[in-house]
Structure 1
Amino acid sequence: MAANLLSDQDVIGQLPPWLQHWLELERFHLHRADRYQDRSRDPGFEVRYLPQHAAAFRLPCFWVPRRSLQVYGRQTAAGELDFFAGSGADERVLIPIHPSAIDHYRTFLADAGAEDAAKRGQCIWALPTSSTRTLLVWQDQAPQTAVFVKTSLHSPLFGDRRLLAKSVGRSVGLSGLVQGEREELPDALSCLREPVGFAPRSSPELGGAVIRSIPPHIKQGHIRVAPLFSLLGGDGDRVPLLLTLLERSGMQPLQWLEQVLCAPFARLWAELSLGRGLILEAHGQDLLLQLTPDLAAVRGFLYRDFEGLQVDWELRRQRGWPTPANMPHDWSWRETYDSWNYPLSDLVWYKWWISLFNYLRLVLFEVETSLREWHDGGLVRGPKCGEGELTMLFSRHLFAAIERQFNQSPGAPYDVLGSLNRFLIQLKQLRRASMQGPPGGAIDRG
Structure 2
Amino acid sequence: MATTPTPTAAKSPSPPPRSILRDPSFLRLWTGTTASGLATWALPFVLGLAVLHRDLGAAGLGLVLAARTAGFLAAVAVGGVLADRHARRAVVLWSALAAGAAAPLLAAGLGRSLVLMTAAAALAGAGQGACRPAFQALVAETVEPERRQQANAAMTLAVRASTLAGPALTALLAAFLDVRTLLLGIGLLWLVAAFVPARGAAAPGAAAGPAPRAGFRAEFLEGIREARRHPWFLAGLAALVCVVSLGYSATSVALPLISRDRYGTEWVLAAAMTAYTVGALAGALLMARRRPRSQGWAAFAGLAAYGFAPLSLVLPVHPAVVVAAYAVSGTGIELFNVPWFTATQREVAPDKLARVSSLDFLVSYGLAPVGLALIAPAVTAFGVAPVLAVCAAACFLVPAAAAFVPTARHFARTAPAARD
TM-score (norm 1): 0.28
Larger relative contact order, structure 1 or 2 (CA cutoff 8 Å, min sep 6)? 2
Structure showing the higher strand proportion among its residues: 1
TM-score (norm 2): 0.30
Structure showing the higher helix proportion among its residues: 2
